[in-house]
């Protein structure tokens, strides 16, 4: 038996008629209850009768046919409609609004909402973000109904913004957003309005580490937008969970009269690292390096190095290479994680490391740094002091990619635009 499909636009503003075909009122909206099913059921209609918005339960609707909605009851309850917790009004809250498509992490526009009758129950099954629904509404009805959805997005992958429905007491579930990469979540924030972006940031804020990762992926314009809307302690809390180099870059963009107060509120270890990075020209290796890296004495066994990698909180991109030091603290070499995994765990670290002929210095400009990393195929470049004894930090390939790519590249390539 074929599934009966219905466009929301074909119901809204249509007359509600009784069994005799006499008009009772006009349909204003359809009500669904979310949170209990991947395809939320329609629980009723909002119908304007005699200038009042009334609730008509879906069980009293006989069908949607010929541009009319058929009422099956003997009388209409005259109590005014009042939204209940967990309910959405499809037309008012969602139609032509932004929604989150969690498959691929994109913002889409709900140009049409598709309904289906499954096992006797009307459910929301999908959203059409294309321009086809607009075209369907512009042509005569008998022709428009022949224009079928072409790129329907399954409602099971959709998440509405609470800011569109402030009385519904809903929230974006953190567990769903957490399945996305931080860069994808940042793209969502950048494609959304400020209010919608705040809602996403609030949702991921349940995980401070994820919140910081997302914040680091935002472009400077959006980072500043959110920092400026927060107090100094709130801004410091956020910066304290970011990588020191990213925190230093951001604090330099903050209004000058807020820089020192925010910096003073950072935890002492983070504050020390950020102050050190701020002493370098931002367009040098020292300005983009991360002072967090893993180094161990060359006489420890490889097994101990692998244990240190497992327990380290250093960002994964900086952990691809581990550095070895002599008893006096001088840098002696480095080893990739792959070479450590392949080595006998009983070997000493020093027998696995290779001397470091390829390195950069803190005062090198970014062009020289990129050339060095390209020439030697480095994913992690050590930044050495002038005497070549001590490691000051590391420049990772993602750091230089941010420099090489043109400003606004995400926007230029449509990475942050809403679909539809």
Q: Hey, which CATH number is domain 4-160, 3.40.50.300, 1.10.357.10, 2.30.30.240, 3.40.50.410? A: 2.30.30.240
Quickly tell me which residue has 């809204």 as its tokens. 12
Write down the pLDDT at residue 135: 59
Class of domain 174-280: mainly alpha
Residue 295, token pair as written in the block = 């180094």
Radius of gyration of the chain (CA): 29
Residue-wise pLDDT tens digits, 153-177:
999 998 888 777 765 556 777 888 8
Residue-wise pLDDT tens digits, 329-371:
899 999 999 999 999 999 999 999 999 878 999 999 999 999 9
Among residues 227, 398, 249, 412, the alpha carbon closest in space to that of 317 is found at 398
Class of domain 295-404: alpha beta
Among residues 88, 180, 104, 90, the alpha carbon closest in space to that of 419 is found at 104
Among residues 244, 203, 191, 249, the alpha carbon closest in space to that of 224 is found at 249
Q: Within the chain, which residues score under 70 in pLDDT? A: 1-2, 134-151, 166-170, 406-420
Alpha carbon distance 338, 394 (integer Å):
18
> Which H or E run contains 57?
strand 52-57
Alpha carbon distance 170, 85 (integer Å):
8
> Mapping DSSP to helix (H, G, I), strand (E, B) and coil, where does residue 358 land?
coil
Alpha carbon distance 203, 171 (integer Å):
8
Domain ranges in the chain are 4-160, 174-280, 295-404
In 85-152 the beta strands, taken as DSSP E runs, fall at 87-89, 98-101, 106-109, 112-118, 121-128
The pTM of the full predicted model, rounded to 2 decimals, is 0.74
Write down the pLDDT at residue 144: 47
DSSP 175-193: HHHTTS-HHHHHHHHHHS-
């Amino acid at each position: 038996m074929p599934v009966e499909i219905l466009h929301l636009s074909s119901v809204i503003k249509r007359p509600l008629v009784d069994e005799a075909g006499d008009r009772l009122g006009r349909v204003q909206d359809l009500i669904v209850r979310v949170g209990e099913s991947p395809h939320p059921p329609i629980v009723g209609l909002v119908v304007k009768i005699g200038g009042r918005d009334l609730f008509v339960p879906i069980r009293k609707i006989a069908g949607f046919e010929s541009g009319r909605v058929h009422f099956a009851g003997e009388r209409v309850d005259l109590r005014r409609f009042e939204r209940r917790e967990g309910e959405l009004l499809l037309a008012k809250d969602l139609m032509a609004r932004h929604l989150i498509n969690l498959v691929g992490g994109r913002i889409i526009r709900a140009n049409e909402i598709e309904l289906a009758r499954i096992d006797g129950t009307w459910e929301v099954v999908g959203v059409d973000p294309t321009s086809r629904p607009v075209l369907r509404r512009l042509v005569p009805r008998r022709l428009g109904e022949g224009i079928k959805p072409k790129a329907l997005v399954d409602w099971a992958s959709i998440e509405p913004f609470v800011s569109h429905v402030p009385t519904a007491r809903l929230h974006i579930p953190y567990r769903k957003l957490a399945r996305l990469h931080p860069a994808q979540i940042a793209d969502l924030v950048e494609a959304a309005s400020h209010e919608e972006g705040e809602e996403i940031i609030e949702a991921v804020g349940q995980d401070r580490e994820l919140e910081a990762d997302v914040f680091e992926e935002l472009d400077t314009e959006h980072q500043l937008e959110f920092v400026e809307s927060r107090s100094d302690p709130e801004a410091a809390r956020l910066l304290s969970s970011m990588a020191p180099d990213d925190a230093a870059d951001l604090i330099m963009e903050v209004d000058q009269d807020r820089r020192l107060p925010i910096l003073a509120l950072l935890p002492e270890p983070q504050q020390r690292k950020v102050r050190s990075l701020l002493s370098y020209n931002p367009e040098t290796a020292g300005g983009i390096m991360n002072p967090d890296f893993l180094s161990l004495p060359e006489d420890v066994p490889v097994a101990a190095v692998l244990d240190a990698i497992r327990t380290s909180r250093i960002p994964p991109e900086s952990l691809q290479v581990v550095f070895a030091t002599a008893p006096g603290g001088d840098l002696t070499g480095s080893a990739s994680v792959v070479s450590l995994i392949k080595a006998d765990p009983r070997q000493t670290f020093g027998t696995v490391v290779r001397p470091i002929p390829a390195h950069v210095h803190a005062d090198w400009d970014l062009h020289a740094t990129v050339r060095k990393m390209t020439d030697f195929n480095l994913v992690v470049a050590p930044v050495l002091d002038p005497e070549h004894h001590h490691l000051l930090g590391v420049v990772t390939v993602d750091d230089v990619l941010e420099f090489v790519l043109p400003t606004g590249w995400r926007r230029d390539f449509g990475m942050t635009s809403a679909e539809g």
